[in-house]
């Protein structure tokens, strides 16, 4: 998800090609910390949206 959002794509730490090669590690570390913090709350939002859509029919 973070890669698709473009996170780490242009960090500009003046690391050149090495920076690009290690961007996946940075994204993974951030994702791990997000999970430890309880996530983004998207599951509840998706569930509520699906429940509302099923009641509309």
Structural domain including 29 reads 16-56
9 within a domain of the structure (yes/no): no
25 within a domain of the structure (yes/no): yes
Mean pLDDT of the chain: 82
Instruction: Answer yes or no: is pLDDT of 11 > 60.
Output: no
Angle (CA) 50-27-31 rounded to 5° is 45
* Prediction pTM value: 0.58
26 within a domain of the structure (yes/no): yes
46 within a domain of the structure (yes/no): yes
Q: Domain tally for the chain? A: 1
Which of 35, 11, 37 shows the shortest CA–CA distance to 24? 11
What percent of the chain stands above pLDDT 70?
Answer: 82
Q: What is the pLDDT of residue 33?
A: 94
Q: Do 31 and 3 meet the contact criterion of CB atoms below 8 Å apart?
A: no
Digit-coded pLDDT (tens) for 16-41: 777 777 888 888 999 999 999 988 88
């Amino acid at each position: 998800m973070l890669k698709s959002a473009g996170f780490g794509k242009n960090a500009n730490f003046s690391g050149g090609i090495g920076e690009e090669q290690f961007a996946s590690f940075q994204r993974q570390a951030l994702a791990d910390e997000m999970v430890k913090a309880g996530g983004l709350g998207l599951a509840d939002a998706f569930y509520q949206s699906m429940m509302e859509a099923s009641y509309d029919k």
